[in-house]
Amino acid sequence: MNYSFNTNRNSNRKSTEITNCLASCISSPGEQQQQQQGNDTDLERITPPIPSPSSSSKSDSNTFIGKDKLLEQFKQQLKQFEEWNQRHDWLAFHHHHYDWWMFPIDEISSRGSTYQLPDAVISDLKKNEEFIRDLRRGVRLMVRSWGWDIDKGQLFDKLDDKQKWSYWPVRLYKAGRSMWLFDQIDYYESLKKLAFHIKEKEKLDFFSHTKNGKADVLEQWKEMEQTKRF
């Protein structure tokens, strides 16, 4: 199979098409230039019925949303994931924004500290078997929309037309960091394998609010691996 990358984000910017990578065609759904670099500053479209965070949840927020509210959004989003997967609606995975609560991590984002996991919450959630099971399920379904079989660490043999890499380096980063934080190392290693494949043909840069600048997925993960897991 031919695995090509197309980083065209919308009709207002030039498209770049890179072919012959991995085993099938990968292309992007179309986003703004800022999003091409993985910035989630303007990722505000949330699919109903996921509760829309209040104004205090925006980038000026310094208050964690709370474990219960996080889990509520997480569970509702997973339900949507299941529906999209059943319909093979891969574009729904590509076009909607859910990283904050679906792949929770311990870093600030465009919404400040609203979804930044405190150490105590990480420790608590690691003991929650249902959460860990559903977290793995969520990552599995999301990367399936990219054509990646996370359990086997390879592309699916047969892919739908829209089942492609959609140029979301920030999403890939958060999914990987979330797997690392919650000790799901088998899935983390599979995501690393996917990242190395993608980087053979294109950059994996994104805007890091922690660094307040551009960062590379694999380089950030490498730094992460030097730190302790909870």
- The pLDDT value recorded for residue 227 is 84
Q: Where are the domains of the chain?
A: 67-227
- Token readout for 182 is 């919650």
The string of pLDDT tens digits covering residues 55-106 is 333 434 689 999 999 999 999 999 999 999 999 999 999 999 999 999 999 9
Cα end-to-end distance, the chain, whole Å: 40
Q: Are strands 148-149 and 205-208 parallel, antiparallel or unpaired?
A: unpaired
d(CA 42, CA 128): 32
The string of pLDDT tens digits covering residues 143-202 is 999 999 999 999 999 999 999 999 999 999 999 999 999 999 999 999 999 999 999 999
d(CA 108, CA 59): 9
d(CA 212, CA 197): 27
The string of pLDDT tens digits covering residues 212-224 is 999 999 999 999 9
